Structure 1
Amino acid sequence: MMYTRIFTLVVLLINLNLTLLSAQNDHLKGLTKVDLLQMPDVNIEPDKYPVYNTFGQKLTDVQVLQAMMSQKYLPDLYVDNNGDIKAIVLRPVSIEENISLKPIPEEIDNNSESFDALVKAMANPNLVEGSSAPDFEITDINGKKYSLQSLKGKVIVMNFWFTDCKPCKVEIPELNTLVEKYSAEDVVFLGFALDDNSKLDPFLEKTEFKYTMFPNSKNVADSYKISGYPTHVVIDKDSKIAFSTVSYSAITTLIIERNINKLLGKE
């Protein structure tokens, strides 16, 4: 009798596992896996193709970008009978693949010539280091007014972004860490969002962003000739452009921090 019960339990567990596995793969039914090398020009965009993890859970655009930037995952493409991509699965890299990848090192010699060259390549060509920063007068989401003139004597860290910008959202936790690190210093962190309050307020209710935030900042972005997002600009205590960088990378916050420290006399 006991053996019969054990056998029945085992059968039930096997059936349960098979059901779970089947549910996990429902999104891949009728699709064929193809090698990424066969379709090298494919961009992993959640807005264009549904992207899943290996458990069958659909990933958000931010989760996809974070996974790809970590270099710990690779995409498997699944196509229909016409060869059209219908799903992408991000899976952990194998040991062999990990060896072939060249991850960004955890410790970077930020005094090396190669590092300086990389920083230079990431800069906004429209913002000349040492030139006077364009003036601005703007009101934050709480109704407080700010201007470049009123902030003279402080290091100003500017972030130009908008709520639908995927890399902008990915870097927010790292930027919050910067704000915390320099909370006792003469450094102000200003977030210039392109969005109006109707879009910015609901976003900030769900996502903590510790920068002082300004809605409807397109005029400021235009005066700083911002051409890509996110863009970061650091202004020295004399209101001169000290540094800029366009787009998001794994070393963005590192190079922002390095420039803040230089202006504070910590390097």
Structure 2
Amino acid sequence: MTRYLYLPVLVMLMTLSLSAQTPVRKGPAPAEEIAKAREAVTSNMDNLKAHTTYIYALGLDNPLLEPQYQQWMKEYPSHLNIPYALGLAFHGAAMPESRSYLLKAAELAPKNTRILNMLSDDATRSGNDSLSQEYMKRAMLADTSNATHVGAYLLQFRESGEKDYPQKVFDYMQCFPGHRMGATLLYWMAHTADKSDRIKYLELLRTTFPPSKYSMSESGTTELLDTYLQTDPEKVLKLIAELNENDTWQSRQLAASALVKVKTLEQQHRYREAVAELDQVKLPKYSFTGDFLPLKRAALLDKAGDVKAAYDSIAVKFAKIPTDELYDALVRYGHRLGKNKAAIDKEMNALRYASARAAYPFELGLYSSNASLRLQDLKGKVVLLTFWYPDCSPCRAEFPHFQAVMNKYNKEEVAYIGVNVYPAQDNYVQTFMTNSKYSFTPLRGTAEFAKEHFGAVGMPSNFVLDKEGNIIFSNFTIGHNNHRTLEWMISSLLDRESAGYTNRLSYPCCM
């Protein structure tokens, strides 16, 4: 078994997704095929399969499609599958045209949970979370015996802060033992809890839902192993042996074995050898170890008497993905080398610009008018640039965290730009902006543009540009626990006098 879902924003893709995109036929099929499909529909107007075949034969982008179905809806007002088939097809392609047909279908079948879930999905794509929750509630109440609907409704409140929320999750697990939604609920409850409760919930997830059968439990166990790697690598080896999951956690097993040796060498004061052993630790790109490895390496170098090497190793990491923990270590080692804050800032700036590159000088259309926005128009501002699309769950999950950081900055100094990479979802964008009230400026783009000019493949893809349009930071994600990283990125590129840089970011008093 080799399934991995390390980042929480990726895990979200597996929770409630009823929105897997269906291929859209661009243009009609041969006339004979369309005629045959139409005959199958007209011979039985309630045949959902026949409707689906006809819709895709005609083509979702065909201007004849909607008028035909609107006519049929008038002729056969009580036939559920006429609006339902078209709503289902548009919804599967993440097109807002689905809404009116799903609403009509919901009038005919108000307790149809599939329709209610698709309407909830549509509301989410439109940025209307309260309406999405209302539809999810209706789906849950329509069938309280359905574990998926009840769990999906409960999942929406995972970050509510309600004291009795954990008990609701435990009650759900008792009512629906072994259901995959129980694993999903427990995973997300662990992810939003403090460290002690997180470990407790992840242990419960592992023991209640075997990782070999539940992908969310596998992800939770991976997070648990990464937590133990930092404190008790022997426990990691023992746990993996108990799990007996073949090569699922092979990289963690190898890392734990190396860290056990590092611990022994450190106790024997053989610090250089410990560093060499630590350098053998290779974790996947996405892990939950944070800054543990670079901080550990620097600490060992320091104990070996090489403060400069300790400083340099932290500096390389901090220049790419800055955090408070890395900065504290950087200052500590830098102070012992006689470096003050100004010297450290200068060196970090040099490191960043050594790998900087000029951003593509884009000119992309606005959604608010027929005008365009050029990168040149943003000169003099630091730019947070994200590539996204309305049906992207990880993108939507990241927006509240981006907004929390952006609220700390002056719009005259920092620009917040979001490029939609799927034009087929353009009609969702303005509604999403109105409902969500996020402050980014949405621009029209394509996935091809994002890949060719920015190397962006998976969404979201994020970049921070300096005032001259150079890409300084990339390949990062922001969640509830690392707002400070984005603050560091932005503030490091602002003039301190104008941005309150030294006031926003705290420095040790020794500097």
TM over 0.5: yes
- Structure 1 residue matching 2:384: 3-state secondary structure: strand
1:137 aligns with 2:233: no
| Partner SS, residue 171 of structure 1 | helix
- 1:59 equivalent to 2:150? Answer no
Partners of 1:167 and 1:248 within 8 A in 2: no
For the residue of structure 1 that corresponds to 2:472, the secondary structure is: strand
The letter for the 2-side match of 1:179 is M
Q: 1:50 to 1:242 in 2, by over 3 A?
A: same
Quote the offset at 1:98 in angstroms. Answer: 1.9
2:377 pairs, out of 150, 174, 188, with 150
Q: State whether residues 168 and 248 of structure 1, in contact with CA within 8 Å, keep that contact through their aligned partners in structure 2.
A: no
Q: Aligned equivalents of 2:194 and 2:394: distance in 1?
A: 28
Alignment partner, residue 189 of structure 1? 416
SS of the aligned residue for 2:357 comes to coil
Match of 2:434 in 1: 205
> Whose helix fraction is larger, Structure 1's or Structure 2's?
2
Summarize the Cα distance change of 1:226–1:178 in structure 2 as closer, same or farther, 3 Å threshold.
same
Find the residue that maps to 1:256 and give its secondary structure: helix
CA contact (8 A) 2:364 2:372 kept: yes
Distance 2:376 2:194 in 1: 55
Deviation at 1:139, TM superposition (A): 1.5
TM-aligned CA deviation for residue 85 of structure 1: 4.1
Q: How does 1:1-267 map to 2 (within 5 A)?
A: 45-47=14-16, 50=148, 57-60=153-156, 85=179, 87-88=181-182, 90=185, 98=197, 100=199, 117=317, 120=320, 129-143=355-369, 144-195=371-422, 196-222=425-451, 223-266=453-496
User: d(CA) in 1 for partners of 2:459 and 2:449?
Assistant: 14
How far did 1:176 drift? 2.0
Match of 1:209, SS?
coil
In structure 2, distance between residues paired with 1:95 and 1:212: 34
The structure with the largest strand share of the pair is 1
On the 8 A contact 1:51/1:88 being kept in 2, the answer is no
Structure ranking higher on relative contact order (CA contacts 8 Å, 6+ apart): 1
Percent of aligned pairs with the same amino acid: 20
Q: Which has the larger radius of gyration?
A: 2
- Alignment length (residue pairs): 205
Going from structure 1 to structure 2, the CA distance change for 1:219 and 1:78 (only over 3 Å counts) comes to: same
User: Given residue 209 of structure 1, which amino acid in structure 2 is its aligned partner?
Assistant: Y
User: Where in structure 2 are there 5+ consecutive unaligned residues?
Assistant: 6-10, 18-146, 201-226, 228-287, 289-310, 323-353, 502-511
- Partners of 1:137 and 1:146 within 8 A in 2: yes
Q: For the Cα contact (< 8 Å) 2:420–2:446, is it kept in 1?
A: yes
Q: Deviations over 1:83-103 (max 9, x none)?
A: 98454263566999627466x
Summarize deviations over 1:106-162 as a string: whole Å, max 9, x none. xxxxxx96696388479xxxxx94111111001211123211222222211101112
